[in-house]
Amino acid sequence: MYDPLIDKKPYGATVANAPTHIRFPLERTLGARRAFIVLRRVHGKDEAEGEEIRFEMPLAKREGGEDIFEITFTLDEWGIYMYRFEAELEGGDIAFFGRGADGKAKRQDWLPEWQLTVSKRAYKTPNWAKSGVIYHIFADRFCRVGESDFKKQGRLHTYWTDRPDIAEPLKEYRADDFFGGNIKGILSRLGYLKSLGVTLIYLSPIFESSSNHRYDTGDYLKIDELFGTEEEFDTLVREAGRLGIGIMLDGVFNHTGADSRYFNKYGTYDSLGAYQSPKSPYFDWYTFKHYPTVYDCWWGSTVVPTVNKSAEGYKKLILADGGVIDKWTKKGVKGWRLDVVDELPIDFTTELCRRIKSEGEDTLIIGEVWEDASNKISYDKWRPYFMGEQLDGVMNYPFKRAILSLATGGSSAAFREEITRILENYPKQSLDVLLNLIDSHDTVRALTALSGVPAPESKLQRADFKLGDEEYRLARERLIFASTLQFTLPGVPCVYYGDEAGMQGFEDPLNRGAYPWGREDETLLAHYRALGRMRAKYADILQGETTFEDDDALVVFRRRSEAGEMTVLANPSDVAVRRKIAGKDALTSRSVSYVTVAPRSVRALITK
């Protein structure tokens, strides 16, 4: 197989009206007289599939046994293109080349094509966000300091060590049990977060709400009273900032709570909500099918009615001066994570991102997208996330799937393919700020998933389930493996609170337990601290290019920049593998000339 390069990198992203250089090597024995690259646009501003564009690639030079064909061209239409290569051979035959394994070219008819992402304009993502560690805190469950004045419907757990409530048989789960995690608690643990190398705290929603998860916003302009006060939030931003830690908020703009000042289904607020009267100033924010009881809501959940994002009043609340983005970003917030961003209309997403950036180009914007975000189709429309006017990066679920699969016996080839495809499809600026996760508040805890133990059938059994000693040992070994990959691949690692302490849990709400202060797994904690130190020490290298090496037994990739080179060797097998390689261990700083990669382990070496 041959290895084509885009702008001297094995990536497939460029900018409209900018020079794009492509190099295509062919074995001289093939007898290629002429070579061509053939492109077609599949997504863009008009959503129409474009005609084929053919460029002949001149023979640039001969190296060893290869003919090197190269071309520099420009594309004036932004969007997503697919491309392939053709070669005219001596004798007149045409050879076709498509995308083979790991993005390398393979001669064969009807092969898949490569993707070329052509951004509308050149853009930069925040440099400060490209190194360090993100820490994802589920606000109600991280730490509680002081007594809580509990005024909500539901209950406040007496003991921090309780497990979260689950849905009782034949009853609806209401997310109305609280642990009272608060701002004061986070403030008390800033030193702990610093010891992990944390540079950005990603908070689950903190605005007023009736639930423990707060994705059903009650008032966007108020902090939930159980979580703390606005003054305490100001203190958190200031004190975290002194330690080099920023705050990223969760923006839930697709829907509000039914129990909100805007909808006010239960009369909790002193406002005239849309549910109460068609004369409400919020009435056109919602779509009623049969007033007032039948209305559009997110995935059929009546507690979160969907908002009409074109309603002027709603847009003013979110986007105008004094609105949500303006108020909280001016308080020093360094980033926004946009919940279910693929549910938002394209125009609204563009306006929202423009408003965020207007408060500071250095504000990070991360979108919740579970698939390849470069070619994401939602509601039959392609989402132009990486065209330079919307997101900086996304939650990197493709990497999550690849890492967990490899750690639990998946093939090395499948891992390389999943990683390579994202490397090809995303612009480098976005790759550098991807939020790399291996679990979240929406998934099974990584430790539980990595154990390989199937979930018990009943909710009660899942709620009370704990791994046995041997199961836990294997899961911890796999978590160390998975997290090392998470910290060395392109993007920024995001630790879901408590993973470093050994927290377990199946699906929501069991993945949202209270942090086990005083009962942490010290082995895991030491490992995560070492990873944090590595991220800080080799930040420049870990923003460099990424290339995979051929190896029969290991997954091997290199991170290269002007600052040096890191070689990562992952052994997913049950047999130790030894390699002759000179370098310095990135975690321990010990020099090596040979390296033994133990079963189910990863070694990261500084090799230049």
CB atoms within 10 A of CB 121: 12
Dihedral through CA 577, CA 583, CA 587, CA 590, nearest 10? Answer: 100
Query: Number of C-alpha atoms within 13 angstroms, CB side, residue 455?
Result: 19
Q: Two tokens at 488?
A: 């060395």
Beta strand segments in 210-360, E: 217-223, 246-251, 288-290, 294-295, 335-338
Amino acid identity of residue 604, one-letter, is A
CB 419 within 8 A of CB 489: yes
232 is an active site residue = no
- Rg of the Cα atoms in the chain: 26
**DSSP helix/strand/coil, 482:** helix
- 527's enclosing H/E stretch is helix 522-537
339 is an active site residue = yes
Tell me which residue of 485, 481, 489, 470 sits closest to 572, measured CA to CA: 481
CB 135 within 8 A of CB 440: no
- CA 184 to CA 193: how far, in whole Å? 14
SS (H, E, C) 138-172: CCCCCCCCCCCCCCCCCEECCCCCCCCCCCCCCCC
**DSSP helix/strand/coil, 66:** strand
The set of residues, in sequence order, having a beta carbon less than 8 Å from that of 494 and lying 6+ positions away, is 133, 134, 135, 136, 202, 395, 435, 436, 437, 440
Q: Which of 368, 392, 424, 439 is catalytic?
A: 368
Q: Which of 250, 339, 392, 424 is catalytic?
A: 339
416: left (phi over 0), alpha (psi -120 to 50) or beta: alpha
Order of strands, sheet of 564-571, starting from the edge strand that comes earlier in the sequence: 545-549, 555-561, 564-571, 601-606, 577-585, 591-597
- CA 600 to CA 457: how far, in whole Å? 29
Tell me which residue of 246, 532, 236 sits closest to 364, measured CA to CA: 246
Q: Two tokens at 37?
A: 């690259």
Q: Which residue shows structure tokens 């423009």?
A: 354
Q: Two tokens at 39?
A: 């492109």
Q: Which residue shows structure tokens 């703390």?
A: 228
CB 132 within 8 A of CB 194: no
**DSSP helix/strand/coil, 49:** coil
Q: Which residue shows structure tokens 């942090």?
A: 515
Write out the catalytic residue numbers: 339, 368
